[in-house]
Structure 1
Amino acid sequence: MNPTSPASPPEFEATSGSVTFVGSGPSDLALLTLSGSRALKFADLIIVDPTTDVEHVRALVPAHAQIRVSKREDDANQILRAVAQGLKVVRLHGWDYFTDADADSVLADVLAQAGHHSNVVPGVNRWSAALSYGAVTASAAFAALDATAGIPELEDWPTAQTLIIRVMGDKSRAVAIKAAERFGADATVLSLERMGTTGQVSDLTTWGEVTDIDPEERFFIIGPGIDESHRNRFAWFEGKPLFDWRVILPRTKDDVTALVDELDHYGASSEVVATMSIEPPRTEQAMEKAVRGLVDGRYLWLVFTSPHAVSAIAERLTEFGLDSRALSGISLAAVGRGTVEALARLGLVADLTPVVENTTGALANEFPAYDDLIDPLNRVLVPSADVAVEPLLVGLSRLGWDVEEVTAYRTVRAAPPPADVRDDIKTGMFDAVVFTSATAVRNMIGIAGKPHAATVVAAIGPATAAACEMHGLRVDVIADTPTFESVADGLARFADRRRSDQAAAGLPLTKPSQRKRRKRRKAVEPAG
């Protein structure tokens, strides 16, 4: 028998290898537990569902780890071979393994052979997720019915007071007809679609009114907890101030992942549009000379003003067959949280960061003066973009340092976004736009045009707001402090006030993009 064929998995031998089955929950990996994250952090091989965002997983695992997409029939063999080689394997699943009827049999196959070399990290199961996202408090006795594989006869339905039914949307009517026989066509039921996404829709209806929808997962919940007045007290998900708002984030050279997370907390769906592209310098000689100087001990200080400068130096070191250890003995200074984090990813800690304000000027104010009695060298290297960091250079020179600036990368305006995104920006299909710098304002208008007048405009500070107004944009939100947290909070408070004003005026609660659009008038041909 071929030992590598799916029918005959390799004989398991005890090694230092292990396998951990990690569950998560709806909305990709947003509900991954701490235990699950820890397992990913030390994994050598990760096998994921075909629907999993591989790039999202890559951000959570070590640089050396391999990520493979599940092929189901060969998963057990892959896992057992890897464990036998001493690797730490993680099989990442979108839900909880033991309560998910869709989970494959690989768990049972591997557990039977790997024994104590296996571990299971529970995930969020579909049934408790439906109750939580539907804001339903279950009764003392509740049950689940999975009708995706077939609708059972009525005598096989659970009898609990609270019942959760899972079905594919195109079979909704068939389930409703069967449920009406038991509960009555006029019985109230909560329908939950696109659970856990910003497009979630929960609607109270009756079994007689249920119709088929797109063939996606759908949940029906019955029981005392679905009453509208009862659920409104717990409507934590669809009640978020920016729920289902479509927000566009023009990005320059800085990472806006933290801003995406902040807006996601308030229920928004963010789309990042790059308005600036990072490119290498036009000539490489200056950077090569600078890196050789670092290795040869020419500089006492190395000052990083952005994460891109960190990446540029790291890439040049790699080209020379070196790593971050080549910077041993050089004092490091960094401006900005992103720059500090970029250094941390290389295993480096900055010796100096600004305390009062995270700017190059503030760094110059807090930088130590050159002392020829204790400092063996007076040279400082500042790798930066092709735009000079003048306040820093002048400040360090006044302190007695010999500053050498080198162009590590260039910032150029990015190519325009796809035509459909440009059209959505101009026609008001985005509910809000968040500008994080004056450069972002200029660049986005340059490559994509002005946002529609109905789009809510949020600015991270007064200078950014002034740039918006200079380009004819009405600014609705200005952050109290120039941080991602503050601008996201300001936009959420604006949305809350807007919704309160609509309710007070007796108007329907709508998003900015849900305005009444004018119909184009037909051209009238002149009388002939």
Structure 2
Amino acid sequence: MTESLELTTPADEAGPDQTIGSVTFVGSGPGGLSLLTISGARALSVADLVLVDTDSDLEEVRAMIPAHSTVEVAGVGEVARILGAVAAGQRVVRLGRGDYFSDVDSSGVLAEVLATHGLRINVIPGINRWGAALSFGGVHFGDQCAVLDAMVEVPDIERWPAADTLILRTSGALAAQLASVAAERFGADGETLRMVNMGSTAQVSELLTWREVSASEHSEVYFIVGLGIEDSLRDRYGWFEGKPLFDWRVVTPSTKDPLDALVEELSHYGASTEIVATMSIEPPRTEQAMEKAVRGLVDGRYLWLVFTSPYAVTAIAERLSEYGLDSRALSGIMLAAVGRGTVEALARLGLVPDLVPVVENTTGALANEFPAYDDLIDPLNRVLVPSADVSVEPLLVGLGKLGWEVEEVTAYRTVRAAPPAPEVRDDIKTGMFDAVAFTSATAVRNMIGIAGKPHAATVVAAIGPATAAACKMHGLRVDVVADQPTFESLAEGLAEFADRRRAEQVAAGLPPTKPSQRKRRKRRKVVEADA
């Protein structure tokens, strides 16, 4: 449901040709954008400008907005940026983590914009932290529920609310002080459900007595007291801790294909994933071929346009934009797409491909399922294939055998990416990641080239036999090979390995640990003799 607060410009104040923009405040979270509502996602899908809280949100949001849209990190001058974009007729979305009225508007941006007369303003609620605490804690409260925010200071006991269920929020440094007051209020042996890293794959929830609570290194800690936290229901609190890959750090090198689906699959099993880009996308060395191809699309030279990657979609969209055109210029052209990411990239432009491989989502499979040219019903026999500087030979040969005249054009180049940050390289080499998930042989070669080999304790998972062979060629032990060459199968295989590993540890009488929690050798100190 969208709460609409519309303060529209009066008709007599707007010129006949004036385009009136709008601003929509969208809540999400807490803890990430995965809890974005359908209404919020819909607002992003039509936005011209999106302002987000942190740099970490940029890439995730880019995948949800149209190709022409801009996403920026909000900062100083945020209100002026919003008002200027609205005055220019743009649809602006201010995306915040949480709910705008109960969580994220501490800066007063919403209030300041609301005070501006003549704006079209919408507010889409997010999931507030208090409701999320109950949900992620698995607590069904009674007739009354109250909240207490003690992030800055712990209030005196007289100011604590009374209710059947009480949710307390504080910082780790104040946790012991809050527990001291709570022990006076509820008794030192009174039980509380304590949660840290709420809503993430590293969430830990446990029942404690107030005398057991101490200061914590976590920046945010939640306590729930009262009805709904009975020990008989404690098994519900383990839905995070009980996942096979709970709190595992997984690194996966990316090439030219997006890995959002793999990240999502791994998160279902409790892992957090860090993507290391091993390939960079660059424009072609010369623009003449692409310019000629785009002119041919506009002039009706081609019957089919075949996209083999999301980057090819972006390259065509950018060239059309340079001519002042958009996706409507492709009207009447049949579209084929390889890969889920490619289909999603087309969807962001409002386009639906006419042909997507069913049996296997590869260029070779597309050639097998492509219709043959028929000179009686097909007005043209030309097919345009914008691709990387690496030829998609099986597709070209297959279409040629079907009677099509295929024109391939270099839409972008793939080059090896720069090395990741020093701390990431160090974590890879020293075994601070629990697992590495390789999705292609190219990813294996590229990651070792820019970041070095993973530590011997790191679990190595490969998406198929060819990828596993590349791992072994570079001296890596392969622990998991996916049954099918899909992200779902790769994540499932890694989860099953983790389950077996944990069962073996328990059977041996050892405490379950992650691969990164091994005992590390102490470095010998070299003592130089006195000169």
TM-score class, shorter: 0.7 to 0.9
Shift of 1:479: 1.9
State the alpha-carbon separation in 2 of the partners of residues 79 and 390 from structure 1.
48
Of the candidates 507, 512, 517, which is equivalent to residue 514 of structure 1? 517
Match of 2:190 among 183, 187, 192: 187
Question: Is 1:26 the counterpart of 2:30 in the alignment?
Answer: yes
- What CA distance in whole angstroms lies between the structure 1 residues aligned with 2:324 and 2:112? 44
The alignment status of 1:400 with 2:406, answered yes or no, reads no
Contact 1:241–1:267 (CA<8 Å) still a contact in 2?
yes
Q: Which runs of 5+ in 2 are unaligned?
A: 1-6, 12-19
Q: Deviations over 1:4-54 (max 9, x none)?
A: xxxxxxx97557876655432311222122233334444566565579835
Q: Which moved more, 1:248-257 or 1:77-86?
A: 77-86
What is the aligned partner in structure 1 of residue 4 from structure 2?
A: none
Q: Following TM superposition, by how much is the alpha carbon of 1:260 offset from its aligned partner in structure 2, in angstroms?
A: 1.2
Listed as ranges, the matches of 1:129-278 within 5 Å are 129-214=132-217, 216-223=219-226, 225-228=228-231, 230-278=233-281
* Conserved? CA contact 2:50–2:92, under 8 Å: yes
Give yes or no for the alignment of 1:279 onto 2:272: no
In structure 1, how many angstroms separate the alpha carbons of the residues matched to 2:190 and 2:160? 16
* Equivalent in the alignment of 2:39: 35
The 8 Å contact of residues 23 and 94 in structure 2, kept in 1 or not, is answered as yes
- 1:373-412 superposed matches below 5 A: 373-412=376-415
C-alpha contact 2:193 2:224 (8 A) present in aligned 1: yes
> Is structure 2 residue 461 aligned with structure 1 residue 458?
yes
* DSSP-derived class of the 1:212 partner: coil
Distance, in Å, in 2 between the alignment partners of 1:254 and 1:266 is 22
Q: Which secondary structure does the structure 2 equivalent of 1:30 belong to? A: helix
**Offset of residue 441 of structure 1:** 1.3
Give, as a single letter, the amino acid of the residue that structure 1 aligns with 2:29: G
- Please say if residues 96 and 104 of structure 2, whose CA atoms lie closer than 8 Å, have aligned partners that are also in contact: no
CA contact (8 A) 2:278 2:447 kept: yes
Q: Percent identity?
A: 71
Instruction: Specify the code of the residue in structure 1 equivalent to 2:41.
Output: S
Residues 307, 342 of structure 1: 8 Å contact kept: yes
How far has the Cα of 1:246 moved from its partner? 0.5
Pair 1:370–1:29, CA change in 2 (3 A): closer
Alignment partner of 1:513: what SS?
helix
Measured after TM superposition, the shift of residue 236 of structure 1 is 1.6
Q: CA deviation at 1:85?
A: 8.8
Q: Could you tell me whether the CA contact under 8 Å between 1:13 and 1:84 is conserved in 2?
A: no
The one-character-per-residue Cα deviations of 1:429-460 (angstroms, maximum 9, x if unpaired) are 11111111111112112222221121111111
* 1:125 corresponds to 2:128: yes
Tell me which residue corresponds to 2:491.
488
- CA shift for structure 1 position 250: 0.6
Q: Alpha carbon RMSD of aligned pairs, Å? A: 3.7
Candidates 331, 336, 352, aligned match of 2:334: 331
Superposed displacement of residue 56, structure 1: 3.7
What is the rounded CA distance, in whole Å, between the counterparts of 2:365 and 2:8 in structure 1?
60
Quote the offset at 1:254 in angstroms. 0.6
Shift of 1:426: 1.5
In 2 relative to 1, CA 115–148 (structure 1 residues): closer, same or farther, beyond 3 Å? Answer: farther
Q: TM-score, length-normalised on structure 2?
A: 0.84
Q: CA deviation at 1:470?
A: 2.5
Q: Contact 2:51–2:73 at 8 Å: present in 1 too? A: yes
- 1:318 corresponds to: 321
Q: Deviations over 1:76-104 (max 9, x none)?
A: x9889988998766554432345449756
Q: CA deviation at 1:188?
A: 3.5
2:148, 2:169 within 8 Å by CA — same for their partners in 1?
A: yes
Encode CA deviations 1:197-251: one digit per residue, 9 max, x unaligned: 3333334444334333347222222336445553223422232222211111111
Hey, what does 1:340 align to over in structure 2?
A: 343
DSSP 3-state at the match of 2:443: helix
User: Gaps (5+ residues) in structure 1?
Assistant: 1-10
CA 1:489–1:295 in 2, change beyond 3 Å: closer, same or farther? Answer: same
Work out the CA distance in 2 between the residues paired with 1:171 and 1:498.
37
Instruction: For residue 235 of structure 1, give the secondary structure of its aligned residue in structure 2.
Output: helix
Residue number among 359, 362, 377 corresponding to 1:359 in the alignment: 362
Following superposition, the deviation at residue 317 of structure 1 comes to 3.3
Q: For the Cα contact (< 8 Å) 1:72–1:104, is it kept in 2?
A: no
Please report how far the alpha carbon of residue 68 of structure 1 lies from its aligned counterpart in structure 2 after TM superposition.
7.0
Q: Say if 2:205 and 2:238, in contact at 8 Å, map to a contact too.
A: no
Give, in angstroms, the shift of residue 156 of structure 1: 3.1
2:415 aligned with 1:415, yes or no? no
Contact 2:290 2:411 in 1 (8 A): yes
Is this contact kept in 2: 1:72–1:106, CA < 8 A? no
Which amino acid counterpart does residue 37 of structure 2 have in structure 1? T
TM-score using structure 1 length: 0.84
